[in-house]
Structures are given as C-alpha cells and as structure tokens.
Amino acid sequence: MHQLQAPGRAGRAMAEWAKQLAGIKGVVLDISGVLYDGGGEGGGVPIPGSIDAVGKIKASGLKLRFCTNETQATRGKFVAKLQRLGFNILVNEVTAPAPAACRILKERNLRPHLLVHDDLVPEFDQLDKANPNCVVIGDAADNFSYKNLNEAFRVLIGLENPILISLGRGRYYKETDGLKLDVGVYMKALEYACDVQAEVVGKPAKMFFQSALAEMQVEPQQAIMIGDDIVNDVGGAQQCGMRALQVRTGKYRPCDEQHPEVKADGYVNNLAEAVDIIVKQLHK
C-alpha cells in the first residue's frame, strides 16, 4: 500500500516545499541514515545517490554543515570512515556532541564520569576526570552493561547536586543488521533512577543547531535541515527557526508522516531527491 502511494504523495509534497526555497543559503545534513546506514563489516554502506548529492551541494555554492549525534567514535575517526566510504567531508565541517560537551565541561569546571563508547574516550583526553562531579553518557552500545550503568548511577546518586549530561536523546537508530537502542533510552533510565533531568548536548537542543548555523554564518530562516529523525532532526531544526525535510531512509517509518507533534516541511525519498530539487530551485 505504502509503496504504491509514496510516489504520488512525494510528488505533491515536493511541489509544496520546493516553492518555498527562496532565500536558502545553507544546508544542514544529518549523517547516519541520510548519508549512509551504519553497522556491518566496513562500518556501513552509503545510501544510493548520497555521495553525489554531497558533491552537488558543495558545487552549488550553498553553504554546507554536517550535524550529527554520532558518539560512537571521535569526530576524526568518524569522518575518516565517511571519507573511506567515498564522501567529500572534512572534520571541520562537522558539528558533533562530544566536542560541544567538552567546551561546556571546561567552562563549568566539571569533571566527568564517562559512560561512552571506548572509541569516544579520546575526545575527553584534556579533561580532569578524577573525583567526578557529573556523569556524561553517549551512545555507548555494548558498553551499556548492567555493571557500567550501575557505576554511573552510583556516581550520580552520590553527588549533592547530580548533573547528567547526555550526548543526544535519540530513542534508536538503524544499522545494517537492524534497530539499535540509542543514548536517550539510557538517559531516561538514569533520570528515573536518580530523579534528575539530563542536560542534552546534541540534537534536538536549540544551542546545538545554533552552533552549527554560527559555523556556517547563516541565519536559521536561510537554512534547511535534512534528516531521518522526525523529532531530533526535523522537530529540533524547526524549533530553531529552520526549515526541515525528512528523508524516507535510515530510521524513517511511514507513521512518522502522521507524527502527532512534528510535521516536516517536506518528505523526500532520499537525500539525492532533496538535493536535486533544492539545487534546481537555486537556478530559477
């Protein structure tokens, strides 16, 4: 049913949002589920057409920023993987939660207890981690053992003023072998255990989108976000004043188009389709 209806619906939606692209100067791209699907042997596979699509944005004169909640590796290692997959992407084009969290930790003299992926730990090398006064969680994947979550819990509940910083608040993401629980689920677990509210660094936090826009020197109303997560990408960007498209790749599910709270400015089958339309409108 969905397969049959999709092209017609896409056609209608396309027409609508494409008309409202005047004044767009910058594109913000989510990475996982938009550029590639993570997981498996080589660390993931590109989504068809997305390597060219990134090239087309760069050639168009539009400003481009990648905005990810990826926290399974340092930004450098993550970008190197994407380059190996064939993407034209540089470390300084990427806004990611860990470097943003590091700045915040330094500013506030916080010493983190880390519950993150082993490969993310080097991002926090410059910080004092002795006698921790906060807990930072990222997408720790298999490091989310009972033992490790319990350890983070004990640090947090032992603090007079418990501070929990969560690198994103996603529910799950899609890898080549299926859906995987994301950091938000464990954030909720610790919030409940300690009766605290986490501070989120990453999408959908407004500050996170704002820092991506500042890097591009583009105003929110001049920017369009393209992501596969209806809440964290689309909803987050819209709350920041940006327009936002949802791609029907990655973790997209048909019911997202009837989300009770968030309505994308447009839905597209994939990044390639979105970029073709955006670039075409530039030259009108």
Yes or no: say if 82 and 105 are a contact pair by the CB < 8 Å rule. no
Tell me the closest approach of the beta carbon of residue 69 to its own copies, in angstroms: 16
| CB closer to its own copies out of 121 and 181 | 181
| CB closer to its own copies out of 91 and 185 | 185
| CB closer to its own copies out of 104 and 185 | 185
Q: How far is CA 190 from the centre of its chain?
A: 21
Q: Provide the mask over 121-160, with x wherever binding to its own copies is found by CB under 8 A and - wherever it is not.
A: -------------------xxxxxxxx-xx--xx--x---
Nearest of 13, 6, 15, 26 to residue 214 by alpha carbon: 26
Q: Provide the mask over 187-206, with x wherever binding to its own copies is found by CB under 8 A and - wherever it is not.
A: -xxxxxxxx-----------
The reply to whether 179 sits near its own copies by the rule CB under 8 A is yes
- Pairwise CA distance, residues 71 & 225, whole Å: 20
Tell me the closest approach of the beta carbon of residue 145 to its own copies, in angstroms: 6
State which of positions 62-101 bind its own copies (CB under 8 A): none
| CB closer to its own copies out of 63 and 174 | 174
The reply to whether 186 sits near its own copies by the rule CB under 8 A is yes
The C-alpha R_g of the chain, in whole angstroms, comes to 19
| CB closer to its own copies out of 36 and 186 | 186
Cα distances (Å, whole numbers) of residue 27 to 51, 89, 118, 183, 238:
15, 14, 31, 26, 13
- Pairwise CA distance, residues 208 & 226, whole Å: 15
Tell me the closest approach of the beta carbon of residue 191 to its own copies, in angstroms: 8
Q: How far is CA 43 from the centre of its chain?
A: 17
Phi, psi of 56 (to 5 degrees): -65, -40
For 220, the token pair is 């929110």
48 preceded by a cis bond (ω within 30 of 0): no
Tell me the closest approach of the beta carbon of residue 18 to its own copies, in angstroms: 32
The reply to whether 184 sits near its own copies by the rule CB under 8 A is yes
| CB closer to its own copies out of 65 and 169 | 169
The reply to whether 246 sits near its own copies by the rule CB under 8 A is no
Strand locations in 12-154, DSSP E? 26-29, 36-38, 44-46, 63-67, 94-95, 112-115, 134-137
| CB closer to its own copies out of 45 and 189 | 189
Site residues, its own copies (CB under 8 A): 140-147, 149-150, 153-154, 157, 171-172, 178-181, 184-186, 188-195
